[in-house]
Every structure is written in structure tokens, then in C-alpha cells.
Amino acid sequence: MISINNVHKSYVTGHNSLHVLKGIDLDIEQGEFVSIMGSSGSGKSTLLNILGILDNYDEGSYYLNGSLVKDMSEKKAAQLRNELVGFVFQSFNLISFKNAMENVALPLYYQGVPRKKRNKIAMEYLEKVGLLEWATHLPSEMSGGQKQRVAIARSLISQPKIILADEPTGALDTSTSYEVMEILKEINKDGITIILVTHEHDIAAMTQKIVHLKDGGIDQIIMNGDLKQFKSQYAKQLETA
């Protein structure tokens, strides 16, 4: 599904060049539920943006669903995003002047689906995340958890193969975080690959595979079974930090 080989990425600001990703190799199969962890500045968000074709990379190769993603035109990238990838962001990124239903329906608008049809589909997805009666509310009238559920519904409506979530629970309290994670697990059960970036290890613990980044490289990949060991190691790291 996703295959990344020796990907490098640096940000150039003025005369300074910041080498963020220093050769990442990663394979993710269809239907996996993966979390990316790491301290801030370790490159986890950059990696996610490259995975979502929101950002370019400098070296290496990235195969998404079998096709090479490199130096793509904006138009092509937009189409691929629309077809294959759904995004969930920490700050929800809903459009403030559209109600829940319209927000959910937006990706279908860009696919050219007629209004009535896409609104009907949007209602189905809102029902899936348990927000049917909130369909006509604006984002400003909803709680953080509800907003994130709307964002998840929006990411699902184009029936993507992958959901990319950038700290989806970062702005939520623990119980709402767990609710959101439950929804993500449900989605994963339907066979959709989910990759999320988080720095909360209890959130990461709910995934099948944890990719731990450190200084722009992959420090270790922990499978679900080894989690206990990881947890203690992670705690130790936090202590020393």
C-alpha cells in the first residue's frame, strides 16, 4: 500500500537548511493501523505530510498504491488526495461558515457529485459518527470531540484507502480522545489503513504498530505485542528528558 525508500527532506529558510528526514524506509500494508511517535522536531508531521502528498520530498522514492509519487503537478496531487487519502487534523480544520453536513460533503463537491446526492451521502456518514442530529449546526456550535467526528466523517466520505491523522486527539480530553479512537478503530475494521501521529503513548498503544522517530530517522518499530516493553522504555525516556 505504502512503500517509502530512503526519503530525505530538508527545509531551506534563507541560508539555513534544516535536514528533517534523513533517509526513512517504511512499508505499510493495506488495513494496518499505525501510529508515528517521536519527540517534537523528530520529523513525524513532515513524514505524514509527505505521505499525504501535501509536501514534497528531496530524495528517495514513495510508492502509494503502486504508483510513484514524486514531483507531481498540483492538479494530479489534488486528484490523488481526493481519491486515496482522507485527512484528520489536530485543529479539525472545518470550514467555519459551512454546517456539519456541508463540511462532510465538501470532498464530493470536488469530485463533481451533485448537491442532493452528496448531502445524502454526508448524512449517512454523520450517522456513522453519531452526529445525525447535529447536521445543520455550524462548527462553532459544537464541542471539540464533535468537530473531530465531523472531520473524520469528512475524511471518510470520499471512500479513501488511507486515513492520515495528525494528532487527532491533541486538542481533546482523555474520554473524548478515547471515543475518537474507538471510531478510528471501527473504520480500521472496514479495511481502511490508518496512520496517525501522536505523542500520547496511551493513544499509540491502541494501534497495531508504532513507528518511533528520532532525529529524522526511524529509531524502532514496535509491534503491538511488544508494547509493554516499549511503554517502560518510553517512560524512562520521558524521565531523562
Partner 1 sequence: MFDLDLWKEILSALKKNRMRSFMTAFGVFWGIFMLIIMSGAGKALENGVMDGIRAFASNSAFFWTERTSVPYKGFQRGRRWIYSNTDIEYIKANVSDIEYLSPRLFGPNANSGDNTIRGKKTGSFNIYGDYPEFFKIDPWTPLQGRLINEIDIMHSRKVVNIGERVVEVMFDEGEDPIGQYLKINGVYFQVVGVIKGETRVNIGGGRKPETIIMPFTTMQKTYNFGDDVHFFSVTSKPGVPVSSLETRLKELLKKRHNIAPDDLQAVGSFNIEVEWKKYMGLFNGIQILTWIVGIGTLMAGVIGVSNIMLVIIKERTQEIGIQRAIGATPGKVILHIVAESVFLTVIAGYIGLALGVGILELLNMALEANAGNADDIFFRQPEVSFQMAVGALSVLVISGIFAGLIPARRAVSIKPIDALRDE
Residue ranges binding partner 1 (CB under 8 A) = 49, 52, 54-55, 74-75, 78-79, 81-83, 86-87, 89, 91, 93-98, 102, 106-107, 109-111, 114-115, 154-155, 158
Cell 501510529 locates to 35
Cβ distance to partner 1 smaller for residue 73 or 175: 73
Residue 8, phi then psi, degrees to nearest 5: -115, 145
Distance in Å, CB of 106 to partner 1, minimum: 6
CA pair distance 122, 95, nearest whole angstrom: 15
What's 39's DSSP letter? -
Structural element, H or E, at residue 225? none
Cβ distance to partner 1 smaller for residue 78 or 221: 78
Cβ distance to partner 1 smaller for residue 41 or 223: 41
Distance in Å, CB of 114 to partner 1, minimum: 7
Cβ distance to partner 1 smaller for residue 167 or 227: 167
Outline where the chain has alpha helix (H): 44-51, 74-84, 100-110, 115-128, 144-157, 174-189, 201-205, 227-240
Distance in Å, CB of 14 to partner 1, minimum: 16
Distance in Å, CB of 22 to partner 1, minimum: 20
Please state the separation of Cα 221 from the chain's center in Å.
18
3-state DSSP call for residue 222?
strand
Distance in Å, CB of 4 to partner 1, minimum: 17
Cβ distance to partner 1 smaller for residue 1 or 106: 106
